[in-house]
Chains A and B, each alone.
Chain A
């Protein structure tokens, strides 16, 4: 036993692209998730966050590398052997409009996992369990026989969450669960997720591009750029003292709701991210990094410990550029 709930070892995922090219959606990522923690996964669009989340719960198969769940290599398992673990891992989707079958009632939607895993005997028991779950996510029970289109985005997301927790999983990947919602609703959903985590002893991988949301929820945070981990470690530590230049840029780009700070110089990242089909040599961030040297172009920096957090940069110790 490695002591981790979930562990990724050198996971790589290539997608075939136009021509003979391959898109490196996730390349050589290793990370560990401890039981009961929330790991935030942050990065810009297209950096492979969602792909990594889906790799961890085996919705996608890695091109190479392995994923271990409670010490067991689930990448090597046959589909039939994996089924008993499937129940332990769930996904909360980004888009609550697309992730619920429009032709099913709330009862049937939430009952689907219960029935799939035969957790209850009779129809009445299933319905009772659905009521319980709806109560747990604060959806009024009288909506049992309504259809998804009769709900608001926030309520739909609650139904999606009810589905995710229905089979009593231990690990949930939240794939940008609030980014499609109004700001006023975001908070409620985040609090719901946080409460459920405590009451049901869940472990989360929380994917987001919203740094403040991650800071609110995550114990540790993992910053990704172009399929690679830049920096991973304790949330407060990384937010107060970022080591990787990319993390610094991300944190600098967060709007500050304080007019007195306005006008002060904010450094913003220049240029477009390089294509994942054709990543630069050496460090993937070097084409946009103000500190890049020849060393960065020659070889790729590995993740290494710098005072409690891990960062993949040769100049991580040197402070802001």
Chain B
């Protein structure tokens, strides 16, 4: 599904470049239009903001500690004291969910940002310089893309060991190639655009052309890629943690919570449902927001 979406991002970016003739909408106006017309995207945006706030304010929102055990009240169903029940160690599920949101959001945003920066720089360099630079960078990207991303992530995590920093690194290494490919194809097109030629004839140095003319014109596409990379990273982290390769206990992570809750699926299904629903909510929200942005940037969707 993500592959198809990437394709769509690429096409929308192309069309955007082609449609430079005619009335051009400023990006700010486009966002305003999205807010008006695409309610799902707006709702998603607020869901994300609320989740972020909840993650940040987690200690203030619950009376329990993240790892506070209470073995007398293990596996309790949802109640007034424990809104989402307790787990096998008697820990409050809602509390762990909130603290887990920190991990998931951090894991979503940080590697998505890192891979975006890395991919954008390498992709722009490859597209603008061409020749050997292009060949070397893009062949490395091809090799990265040749592996199924989950497999690649598992191999890297296995050799590096668990821990949040290694998860960052892994997710960045898995995702940069996609960004690089899209940015490269855009750069290739922008490079032959007249306003880039105009900068060259003005004597602007190549590095400044990349920074001032090419990357800013890739920005809307990068924003969409960013919002689409976040859920991918969250899902990968959840899967890694589920497989025991990501975040290590006793720290909470949604994937990890599902993994441990799995053993009690018949007796205490809320252990899996709560983090599962949380993952679904956040992934869908980012996807809807990303789709909303994509629609805005796609001239075919433009309404009169």
Contact = CB atoms under 8 A, between A and B. Distances in A.
Interface in A62-89: 83, 86-87, 89
Interface residues of A, number: 28
Interface stretch (B64-72, B123-131, B192-200, B269-277): B192-200
Contacts of B202: 90, 112-113, 116, 163, 167
What is the interface of chain B mostly: helix, strand, loop, or mixed? helix
B195 A98 contact: yes
B216 interface: yes
7 contacts: A83-B203, A86-B201, A101-B213, A102-B217, A112-B202, A116-B208, A149-B24
B24 A102 contact: yes
A102 B219 CA distance: 13
B199 A112 contact: yes
Contacts of A147: 24, 26
Given A147-B26, A149-B24, A101 B203 contact: no
B80 interface: no
B24 A117 contact: no
A91 B217 CA distance: 22
Contacts of A163: 198, 202
B203 A95 contact: no
Q: What interface size band does chain B fall in? A: 20 to 34
Given A97-B21, A149-B23, A149-B24, A103 B216 contact: yes
Interface in A14-34: none
Contacts of B25: 149
A172 to B, nearest CB: 10
A95 B198 contact: no
A102 B24 CA distance: 8
A112 B21 contact: no
A154 B15 CA distance: 25
A149 B200 CA distance: 22
B163 to A, nearest CB: 40
Contacts of B197: 59, 91, 93, 99
Complex A-B, nearest 5 residue pairs according to Cβ-Cβ distance, in ascending order: A149-B24, A99-B194, A98-B194, A101-B195, A86-B203
Nearest to B22: A97
